[in-house]
């Protein structure tokens, strides 16, 4: 086994020979991360140091010394993770609550990052649904039941959005319906419903994406991964609330069977939708999940999706976007993100956005009128499928969940940024 490099964290500056702004210094097999005057950015420094050590090819590290706390240890792991390598990290803890929490975070985040980074050939709609169900059932085998509805059975049960988006692929679309019921009472009310977009590959359909925009579209199932990972972390932390999870999974491909511009989809709740852009497919599959969630009359509904480029344009790839008609509901997610040291930002959603998705042939279209705010009209579309047009519902557009190329804090690919927010939302609401 490779001998691990010891890594210490200190607020003292490095010796002068390393430079007055040195992040790292070395003495034999010991590296020291320096965070003088960090002013709250010590966790960022730890994450950047981890990225540098990974870039140097250091295969194994042990966090040593008294400078580490829970969040700096976690930040280091987030930066040290590399999908191309099997980097080994020893937390430097032998037991205790902090170690248990770190292990729970790592298990959830590693699953989210690995399944999102998986190839579209390996991660089909059914595989995604089964992987999430199996991962969660291992955490609470006596508290979880689920079913996967796939192929034509989706139409038989009224889930026309998932079926239409996925019908162009030879690999059938699927919906995971999972019930986490720790009390075991089948009549117990549902506290929270989670809905995730699981587009395992998005070509754009007949509104085809250019190649450079399509390259990262294996990550378009990031919402399904994130809500599953968030539930997993909450369960590991001891969640006692009843939660139902809906993953809306499909491949958006082109074929003689694919849905087309001009098609009209009639949903289970009676809403009709004209297809004006087959690349606006995420909202079409989420609609089915939101209808099913609303039928349960939970206290809260949260959906998560890599839904719009507009959200990324608004907040970049460091923040996730949050939208709701209700100030209190949106604030609950923002508070959860702050408590978990994740970044989230509220984008506008108002009643007039509901008027910006008109159709001459159906009740609404799946894209807004020219010049309308894309993230807001996408959320407004979703609201048409939530009880009372959005009551106790919040939408997360996962702007900060995936990087097409690495940077000084994150490796290329999925970040898992958002699962802790969802876990805390489940715990606190």
Q: Catalytic residues, which ones?
A: 209, 283
Q: What is the C-alpha separation between 39 and 20, in angstroms, rounded?
A: 17
- At residue 276's C-alpha, the angle toward residues 325 and 354, to 5°, is 20
Nearest to 224 by CA among 137, 145, 116: 116
CA 110 to chain centre: 12
Q: Given the DSSP bridges, would you call strands 264-266 and 272-274 parallel, antiparallel or unpaired? A: antiparallel
Q: Per this entry, what is the length of the chain?
A: 429
Residue with tokens 């001009």: 262
Q: What are phi and psi of 243, to 5 degrees?
A: -130, 135
Compute the chain's Rg from CA coordinates. Answer: 22
**Residues 6+ positions from 94 with CB-CB distance below 8 Å:** none
Angle at which helices 419-428 and 327-339 cross, to 10°: 120
Residue with tokens 């969640």: 239
CA atoms within 13 A on the CB side of 125: 32
- Total Cβ atoms within 10 A of residue 76: 27
Q: What are phi and psi of 7, to 5 degrees?
A: -125, 125
Contact call for residues 232 and 111 (beta carbons, < 8 A): yes
CA atoms within 13 A on the CB side of 57: 0
- Total Cβ atoms within 10 A of residue 360: 6
Residue 189 is given by DSSP the state P
**Residues 6+ positions from 289 with CB-CB distance below 8 Å:** 175, 195, 196, 246, 247, 248, 303
């Amino acid at each position: 086994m490779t001998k691990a490099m010891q890594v210490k964290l200190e607020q003292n500056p490095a010796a002068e020979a390393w430079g007055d702004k040195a992040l790292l210094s070395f003495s034999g097999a010991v590296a020291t991360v320096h965070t003088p005057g960090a002013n709250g950015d010590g966790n960022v420094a730890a994450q950047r140091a981890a990225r540098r050590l990974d870039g140097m090819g250091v295969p194994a590290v042990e966090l040593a010394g008294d400078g580490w706390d829970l969040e700096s240890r976690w930040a280091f792991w987030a930066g040290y993770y590399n999908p191309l390598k099997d980097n080994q990290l020893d937390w430097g803890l032998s037991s205790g609550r902090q170690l248990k929490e770190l292990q729970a975070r790592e298990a959830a985040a590693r699953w989210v990052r690995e399944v999102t980074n998986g190839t579209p050939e390996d991660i089909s709609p059914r595989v995604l649904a089964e992987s999430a169900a199996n991962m969660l059932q291992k955490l609470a085998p006596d508290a979880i039941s689920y079913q996967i509805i796939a192929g034509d059975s989706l139409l038989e049960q009224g889930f026309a959005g998932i079926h239409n988006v996925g019908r162009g692929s030879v690999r059938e679309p699927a919906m995971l319906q999972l019930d986490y019921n720790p009390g075991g009472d089948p009549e117990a009310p549902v506290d929270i419903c989670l809905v995730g977009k699981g587009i395992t590959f998005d070509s754009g359909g007949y509104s085809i994406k250019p190649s450079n925009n399509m390259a990262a579209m294996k990550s378009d199932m990031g919402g399904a991964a994130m809500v599953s990972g968030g539930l997993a972390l909450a369960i590991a932390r001891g969640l006692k609330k009843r939660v139902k999870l809906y993953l809306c999974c499909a491949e958006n491909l082109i074929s003689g069977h694919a849905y087309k511009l001009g098609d009209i989809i009639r949903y289970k709740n009676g809403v009709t939708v004209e297809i004006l852009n087959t690349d606006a497919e995420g909202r079409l599959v989420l609609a089915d999940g939101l209808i099913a969630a609303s039928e349960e009359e939970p206290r809260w509904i949260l959906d998560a999706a890599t839904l719009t480029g507009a959200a990324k344009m608004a907040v970049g790839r460091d923040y996730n976007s949050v939208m709701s008609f209700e100030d209190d509901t949106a604030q609950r997610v923002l508070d959860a993100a702050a408590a978990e040291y994740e970044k989230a930002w509220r984008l506008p959603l108002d009643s007039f956005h509901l008027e910006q998705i008109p159709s001459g042939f159906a009740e609404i279209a799946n894209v807004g009128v020219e010049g309308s705010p894309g993230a807001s009209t996408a959320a407004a579309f979703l609201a048409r499928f939530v009880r009372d047009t959005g009551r106790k519902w919040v939408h997360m557009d996962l702007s900060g969940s995936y990087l097409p190329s690495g940077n000084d804090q994150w490796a290329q690919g999925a970040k898992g940024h958002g699962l802790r927010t969802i876990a805390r939302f489940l715990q606190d609401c």
